Amino acid sequence: MLNPVQTQRIEGVVVAAFAIVVTIAVGYAWWWLLALFLIFDMSMVGYLRGPHVGAFCYNLVHSYALPALLGAVAVALAAFREPIDWLGVLAIAWVFHIAVDRALGYGLKTTEGFEHTHLGPIGKRRRSAQ
């Protein structure tokens, strides 16, 4: 039986694979997923203002809500014959980033510090917990 952390990590792999399939199916260049990958980690800059602001910024960018909204806007515009391709690419790349993070065990942050996530400890905290 899988525990919730394992389930979310597997879910991340599935969502990342789906993002790749969607990217290719709609005709976007697959390499956009890699080119935009690290841009979303700019949200970590919030940690310069402390763990509460850092966790808020990181979690805002690493939640599926905003890329889903962006994707919905991209689809709506395309339905009205006003496609803006970069919106779609950005939405899919954003989802891909979040999914890969989840698959690797990088979850949403707590206010205890960057190494504390909803999927458990990461980095030095994870090594010391084992």
Question: What's the pTM?
Answer: 0.90
Query: What is the predicted pLDDT for the residue at 124?
Result: 60
Query: What is the predicted pLDDT for the residue at 71?
Result: 96
| Predicted confidence band of residue 122 (pLDDT cuts 50, 70, 90) | confident
Q: Which residue has the tokens 């199916």?
A: 25
Enumerate the domain spans of the chain. 4-122
Query: What is the predicted pLDDT for the residue at 115?
Result: 82
Mean pLDDT value across residues 99-116: 88
Q: Smallest Cα–Cα separation from 71: which of 61, 59, 84, 60? A: 84
Residue 110 token pair: 């707590």
| Predicted confidence band of residue 130 (pLDDT cuts 50, 70, 90) | low
Q: pLDDT digits over 42-89, tens only?
A: 999 999 999 999 999 999 999 999 999 999 999 999 999 988 999 999
pLDDT at 120 over 70: yes
Residue 85's Cβ-count burial label (10 Å; 0-12, 13-18, 19+) is middle
